Amino acid sequence: MYMEKPTTLWISQDHFFDVSALQTKIVEICEEEGLIETKKALEYAFDAHRGQYRKNSIFSSEKVPYIVHPMMITCHAHALGIREDSVLATAMLHDVCEDCGVECSMLPFSPEVQEAVRLLTKKEPFDVVSYFRKISGNGIASIVKILDRCNNVSTMAQCFSIQKLREYIEETEDYVIPLIGETEKKYPQYSDALFGLRYQILAILDSVKILMLRN
């Protein structure tokens, strides 16, 4: 009854949506819902990240513009029902201070967006315990950090070494999964979104761990 199928040549995708499609989507959301800071953040992040690219996939030579990452996080947040202008703006801006040499205090946005981006910005000397503890005290920073990690674990197998995968999985289990639990307790308005994020992160981690164990 069953015939052998020919071997399939699978191709890994560097990204699932192109820049113009994501940009159009966010602009439409901002105009329909009056998200002034998010629209401004989109323009600001585009300029700040110009010429920057995501880490190259080991399966492709295509260069993916870095702006795809914050735009994906913003669209993901909105798809999960998050409509707060400050959260979506922070999602767009979360890497501009760390990666683009911008001082958080100089961001031309509201104090709550400035503060959330500041908390999300890693500085040397970096202490992971202190970093996540401070984030957990801010609802905007907490939900954006979880969205950020969800996006990163979704693409980590494309570009991380085996050792880096182990380290990233352990950090996610040690700090991000507990952060999800804390965020649910402190900021119940994000409970529905956190349910989906927890499931996606844990499912990806487990799948990658199983594949690594097989090898």
Range of the domain at 96: 19-214
Is 44 part of a structural domain of the chain?
yes
The predicted structure's pLDDT at residue 18: 87
Tell me the C-alpha to C-alpha distance, in Å, between residue 134 and each of 68, 119, 197, 209: 27, 7, 21, 29
The predicted structure's pLDDT at residue 62: 82
Q: pLDDT-derived band of residue 215, with 50, 70 and 90 as boundaries?
A: confident
Cα separation, 94 vs 72, whole angstroms: 12
118-121-126-129 Cα dihedral, nearest 10 degrees? 70
Cα separation, 162 vs 113, whole angstroms: 35
Is 14 part of a structural domain of the chain?
no
pTM (2 decimals)?
A: 0.93
Contacts of residue 71, Cβ cutoff 8 Å, sequence gap at least 6 = 19, 22, 23, 26, 42, 92
Which two three-digit tokens encode residue 123?
Answer: 């500085």
The predicted structure's pLDDT at residue 6: 63
Is 156 part of a structural domain of the chain?
yes
Helices 162-171 and 191-214, packing angle to 10 deg:
150
Is 91 part of a structural domain of the chain?
yes
Nearest to 147 by CA among 198, 104, 107: 198
Is 132 part of a structural domain of the chain?
yes
The predicted structure's pLDDT at residue 175: 98
Q: How many domains does the chain have?
A: 1
At which residue do the structure tokens 């690594």 appear? 212
Is 113 part of a structural domain of the chain?
yes
Give the CATH number, domain containing residue 97: 1.10.3210.10
Is 51 part of a structural domain of the chain?
yes
**Range with the poorest average pLDDT among 16-25, 63-72, 139-148, 185-194:** 16-25
In tens, the pLDDT along 32-84 reads: 999 999 999 999 999 999 999 998 887 777 889 999 999 999 999 999 999 99
Backbone angles phi, psi at 15, to 5 degrees: -155, 155
The predicted structure's pLDDT at residue 37: 98
Q: pLDDT-derived band of residue 93, with 50, 70 and 90 as boundaries?
A: very high
Mean local confidence (pLDDT), 1-16: 64
Is 133 part of a structural domain of the chain?
yes
